[in-house]
Structure 1
Amino acid sequence: MGPAWLWLLGTGALACVHCQHFSEHGDKRLEVPRGPSGPLSEPVPAYQTITPTITNFGLRLYKQLAAESPGNIFFSPVSISTTLALLSLGTQANTSTQVLEGLGFNLTETPEADLHRGFQSLLHSLGLPSPKLELKLGTSLFLDKQLKPQQRFLDSAKELYSAYAFLANFSDSTAMGKELNEYVRKQTYGLVSNSLQAFSQDTLVALLNFIFFKAKWKHPFHRYQTQKWERFFVDARTALRVPMMHQKEMHRFLYDQELACTVLQLKYSGNAWALLILPDPGKMAQVEAALRPETLRKWDQLLLPSLLDLHLPMFSVSGTYALEEVLSRMGLTDIFSLEEDFSAITGLLNYTASRVSHKAVVDMSEKGTQAGAASSLLLQPQAPAASATAAGTGPHAHFNRPFLLLLWHVTTESLLFLGKVINPVAG
């Protein structure tokens, strides 16, 4: 018999039995001090307890991926961090602590229950309708009929993450794999395809999540100003011909002399914006090393409106990753241990995490941007450990060499996507 798999994709997961029950609408807020006549200040949304940490986790993960890959990078920090945080709810206490601390959370300052309440609030807030911004998240849990997960676990999944459970027949693994991949593809409007790794007829659980982002520019580029073939310098010796958009428009902009990079904020017409960072030639590694939350805060304070002569390539890039080794280096080791117990999820003993995967795609054009992602975490029967294998009227910004891209949700201050464009036409 081949291995039996448990798939956990994206931002959905099952909640542990010791977590509190939260409000029906998933937007419970933190308690604030009260004076004689009422609150001393406005309530703080629960998601604010986690979004700075998610940003920091995304920047740390980016550095790990950049050290391994010389090519394009693109992923969703929200998707990956939420997947791991939710997985922690089905683990032993020590492993749960390790996962959350590996993500960067301080459990001494913020109790675990508050962190999960923050994720619930974040998912609810991201899912609220927003004019001119399409941001869609969802989770579905497919269970083989032989499983007996804890009912409290399933109830919490529905309550906290709106994750509905469905019976599935995994005996025909080929047909089921196609069906689940098609589900993710449809939910991301064709943007994310073939996100699931192949699995055998012994698959037991599939928890599928998607995140989809689509927004139009506040100041769209005019198609007639796009040059069909301009040079983009992948490196000092390689130049590509790419379609280059052009506009002269007011944008928040700065040049960081210390880090030798141009920083540009492009607003969408909805509740989001993009941050593009263009290092000077030869300075990419220097800028990457400085990627920290305090650097982003500094840039945000210094960005000033400028009439900018902007050249930006149209591009479509993607990233596909196996993250188990990277996450182990970041401190998340116990979920891959033979001693871990996931019986709260499977109803069976002797399962351990074997694969953490992620796929994300982004398209940027004259009208705007669309991006999507899916994350996966696989569990399989425990086995002996294997050996490891190792010129205008204002400033000029010409994005004709590798640059960084961050996509933000404004209200929640969430880093939805993060990446690096090395080759705009690599796909």
Structure 2
Amino acid sequence: MMAFSLKFCLILAGLCSLVPGHLAEELPDSKDTAHPLSASHRISPYMADFGINLYRTLVSKSNTTNIFFSPLSIFTAFTLLALGAKSTTHDQILQGLGFNLTQISEQEISEGFQQLLHTLNLPGNELQLTTSNGLFIDKKLKIVEKFLEDSKKLYASDTFSANFEDQEAAKKQINDYVEKETQGKIVNLIQDLHPDAVFVLVNCIFFKGKWEKPFDAELTEERPFHVDAKTTVPVQTMRRLGMFQVTYDEDLACWVVTMDYRGNASAYLILPDAGKLEQVEDALSKEQFQKWSRNLDRRAVDLYFPKVSISGSYDLKVLRDMGITDVFEEKADLSGITEQTKLKVSQALHKAVLNIDEKGTEASGATFVEAIPMSIPPVIDFNSPFLIALYETSTRSTIFLGKVVNPSGN
């Protein structure tokens, strides 16, 4: 075995492009009964907890900027990485992701991901939702066969030979893969590769959905968005008067609106009252989302919602704050990936992009009609910072999670 340490890079990219729609009929608190997707349902609560814990960690670093990331993408990549980790490195990864191996076995975790990724990538869904894992391996590096077999079987990973001695060629090869898998929306994600890099794991997720009940583009107008007490920016704001699933949480002082896409996905939109954002953030948990779900009521609402164009870019070494430390250090044990040399994760990058606009809605918007009561409906105006969570309903997976402080960017 070589005496020196070579580098492993972990790259994650997610794209979420949303276009206007309606409210959730199936919500993530649905009781788990005998169901063909029960294996994927077993891991979804852990993913939800992980996403909220990472959200809190990112907020602790900066509470004044947009936050947007894909728990599904990060969770998948690090669980795949755990396949090749051993000893303390292995335990830290699984514990940092929130898994308790006295409650769920590694076999159940693997079966859950196998079913989850298979379901998400099924063709014919009205949603455009795809996930992919790419392993870029230096042509001189010998990978443990079991890791290659398991990553292919359980995570549908693609394997590519790369020449990391030619840094520019390797970087282009990986960036081209990310650009292709996100349909051209995330380009040049990697600016630099570590000079000792020999192995790169890339996870991509692409999501594009259309609302079932669209906004009318003719009603969109510029309105003020209150970034904070001192800052107001003009934002193109959509409007729809219609029937929505909503609840007002008196204890936390926030509105919750759920919206559905064509296909198996829904969005939670959480609008805190002025000065109550931190109070809502502190209360976030999967149990809180379930409570909101139980209290949702279908009613007429005059909804104002901004067009959104934001992105989040993160160095995932922030996961050290959640107990995943050794994998980034010289004492990392990734001998389940290769026994030829000692590996550690030198780079772990994640980028997610969110676009909410009216593309593709004009035709259906011209014919959409909805009956509403004659009484004056409440106005819910998303004109101040709000939280957003996107779920794939058939697998109960948290696809994206974030906070919009400024819809036009940070």
TM-score normalised by L of structure 1: 0.83
Is structure 2 residue 319 aligned with structure 1 residue 327?
yes
2:212, 2:262 within 8 Å by CA — same for their partners in 1? yes
Shift, 1:197, TM fit: 4.4
Shift, 1:362, TM fit: 0.7
Aligned with 1:266: secondary structure?
strand
Deviation per CA, 1:313-349, whole angstroms, max 9, x where unpaired?
Answer: 001100001121x312211122234222223323433
* Equivalent in the alignment of 1:315: 308
* Equivalent in the alignment of 1:32: none
Deviation per CA, 1:238-284, whole angstroms, max 9, x where unpaired?
Answer: 10011000110111001111000010001112211111000001110
Structure 2: 5+ residue stretches without partners = 14-32, 362-374
Structure 1: distance between partners of 2:218 and 2:5: 55
Aligned ranges for residues 337-376 of structure 1 at < 5 Å? Answer: 337-367=329-359
Moved more, 54-63 or 139-148: 139-148
Is structure 2 residue 139 aligned with structure 1 residue 156?
no
Aligned ranges for residues 254-293 of structure 1 at < 5 Å? Answer: 254-293=247-286
2:9, 2:345 within 8 Å by CA — same for their partners in 1? no
Cα distance 1:131–1:121, how it changes in 2: closer, same or farther (>3 A)? closer
Shift, 1:130, TM fit: 4.7
1:342, 1:349 within 8 Å by CA — same for their partners in 2? no
1:247 pairs with one of 227, 240, 245: 240
Cα distance 1:112–1:232, how it changes in 2: closer, same or farther (>3 A)? same
Deviation per CA, 1:354-396, whole angstroms, max 9, x where unpaired?
Answer: 3322110010012489xxxxxxxxxxxxxxxxxxxxxx83121
1:91, 1:342 within 8 Å by CA — same for their partners in 2? yes
Cα distance 1:131–1:88, how it changes in 2: closer, same or farther (>3 A)? closer
Determine which structure has greater relative contact order: mean sequence separation of CA pairs < 8 Å that are 6+ residues apart, divided by chain length.
2
- Give the residue type in structure 2 aligned to 1:265: T
Aligned with 2:179: secondary structure?
helix
- Give the residue type in structure 2 aligned to 1:329: D
* Equivalent in the alignment of 2:380: 397
Aligned with 1:110: secondary structure?
coil
Is structure 2 residue 108 aligned with structure 1 residue 87?
no
* Equivalent in the alignment of 1:8: 10
2:10, 2:347 within 8 Å by CA — same for their partners in 1? no
- Give the residue type in structure 1 aligned to 2:170: M
Is structure 2 residue 170 aligned with structure 1 residue 176?
yes
1:126, 1:135 within 8 Å by CA — same for their partners in 2? yes
Is structure 2 residue 282 aligned with structure 1 residue 299?
no
Aligned with 2:298: secondary structure?
strand
Aligned with 1:344: secondary structure?
coil
Structure 2: distance between partners of 1:317 and 1:162: 29
Cα distance 1:280–1:368, how it changes in 2: closer, same or farther (>3 A)? farther
Cα distance 1:353–1:205, how it changes in 2: closer, same or farther (>3 A)? closer
Structure 1: distance between partners of 2:181 and 2:143: 26
Cα distance 1:200–1:414, how it changes in 2: closer, same or farther (>3 A)? closer
Deviation per CA, 1:121-155, whole angstroms, max 9, x where unpaired?
Answer: 11111111353211011122221111011122212
- Give the residue type in structure 2 aligned to 1:208: V
Structure 2: distance between partners of 1:5 and 1:185: 23
Cα distance 1:200–1:174, how it changes in 2: closer, same or farther (>3 A)? farther
1:149, 1:343 within 8 Å by CA — same for their partners in 2? no
1:177, 1:199 within 8 Å by CA — same for their partners in 2? yes
Moved more, 298-307 or 328-337: 328-337
Moved over 4 A (4+): 40-44
TM-score normalised by L of structure 2: 0.86
- Give the residue type in structure 2 aligned to 1:226: T
Q: What percent of counterpart residues are identical?
A: 44
